[in-house]
Structure 1
Amino acid sequence: MRKVTSLLCTLSILLCLVAPTLNAASVNPKALLEKKYPRERVTVSKSVDLNGDNKKEHLLITESGNFYLINSKGVIVLIDTNYYNEEDPTFHILNISSKEKHVAITLDYPPSNTQLFVFKYQDGTLQKKLSIIGDVSIKISKSGEIRQARKNYFPEGGWDTAVAYYKWNSKKDKYVIYGEFPQ
């Protein structure tokens, strides 16, 4: 009887230790958000480890255009609003360094306009670091450099393409611009 009781106690202790791990690993970010906000419906989502702690953060955009972050502790944070258009927004993860990643969101407005927002993960939330529009295009390189092409209109009519580049400067904690500056 003592052996059975000891075995049951050991199993219950192990179950208590393993249960929170199983529960945390099986979190469905869409279901978690929709449970807390029943009127929200997730249209775009992405899960990624933004800070190198081997735990994923979850990025979600809803039908109403709200952008949410669920951090690795399971806290839901409303980051921004008005992220909707005819086409779904697109998440891009910028590998700034081995320890730092930024989240970029593009909203395409056909035939040629693209709006870009870039966020830095900081203190369990996302801080907006860049917001630009490219009326010709926006391209993101693998190194995280952003190329903005826009129309530079001539006084007599017509236009030429002007290109500006944005690169992250960690010392200044912002994106610095070079090339042809937006007017």
Structure 2
Amino acid sequence: MKRVILLICSLSILLGLLPATIADAATVNPKAILEKKFPRERVTVSKSIDLNGDNKKEHLLITDSGNFYLINSKGTIVLIDTNYYNDEDPTFHILNISAKEKHVAITLDYFPSNTELFVYKYQDGTLKKKLSVIGDVGIKLSKTGEIKQLWKNYYPEGGWEIAVANYKWDHKKGKYVGSGEVPR
């Protein structure tokens, strides 16, 4: 009888611990993962999203030192780029290029009106930069991946007018193609 009671108590304790263990494994804290590997880094901006349709999230992180990291779905930390400083925190945007493809866009806003844009494509467990532009009047993004760059086209005699360049992803070329008034 003692053995049966002991067995029942042991099983209830083990079953009580099992859901917590499963929940802990399912919950990933990308900030803690990065800060454990790089103790001097402090995450200021983060976003988690499935970029390649494998039902596993990739994690995007920007630190107070201006470093941009990716933690891919396998848990590998990849330094993507540096010097992501601006007046405000950088902003992540997800561009839905197709049903299976998403690109990561980051905007950096500078006073009084400049916006810098970087667009990355997820490839081979990392992010590859596909576009980098500055809109000295602004940048507009659509969820489908169309990008509008508003910039100042200066006259030789002084003054300027707003020029508009449009960028769209070209699957065949594997890059963003510009149309309209693209700066030289």
Give TM-score scaled by structure 1 length: 0.89
Per the alignment, residue 26 of structure 1 pairs with 27
Query: How is 1:1-183 mapped onto 2 (pairs within 5 angstroms)?
Result: 19=21, 22-183=23-184
Cα-to-partner distance string for 1:49-108 (whole Å, 9 max, x where unaligned): 101111111100000000000111111110000001121000000000000000000000
Describe the shift of the 1:23–1:73 C-alpha distance in structure 2 as closer, same or farther (beyond 3 A): farther
2: CA distance between counterparts of 1:79 and 1:156? 42
Query: Is the contact made by 2:41 and 2:63 (CA closer than 8 Å) also made in structure 1?
Result: yes
Contact 2:106 2:117 in 1 (8 A): yes
Distance 1:157 1:26 in 2: 57
- State how far apart, in whole Å, the 1-side matches of 2:86 and 2:153 are: 25
Look up the equivalent residue of 1:141 and give its one-letter code: S
Question: Structure 1: where are the runs of 5+ without partners?
Answer: none
- How far apart, CA to CA, are the structure 2 residues paired with 1:24 and 1:174? 37
In 1, Cα distance between equivalents of 2:53 and 2:143: 18
- The 1-side partners of 2:71 and 2:153 are apart by 40
Q: Deviations over 1:32-52 (max 9, x none)?
A: 100000000000000111011
3-state SS of 1:35 partner: helix
1:132-163: CA deviation from partner (whole Å, max 9, x where unpaired): 00001100012210000100000111001111
Off by >3 Å, runs of 4+ in structure 1? 21-24
- Secondary structure (helix, strand or coil) at the match of 1:92 reads strand
Q: Describe the SS at the equivalent of 1:40.
A: coil
Q: Retained in 1: the 8 A contact 2:94–2:143?
A: no
Q: What SS does the aligned partner of 2:51 have? A: coil
CA RMSD, Structure 1 to Structure 2 (Å): 2.2
Q: Give the conservation status (yes or no) of the 8 Å contact 2:118–2:129.
A: yes
Give the drift of 1:109. Answer: 0.3
Supply the distance in 2 between the matched residues of 1:22 and 1:151 (Cα, whole angstroms).
52
Distance 1:93 1:24 in 2: 26
Which structure 2 residue ranges, 5 or more long, are not aligned? none
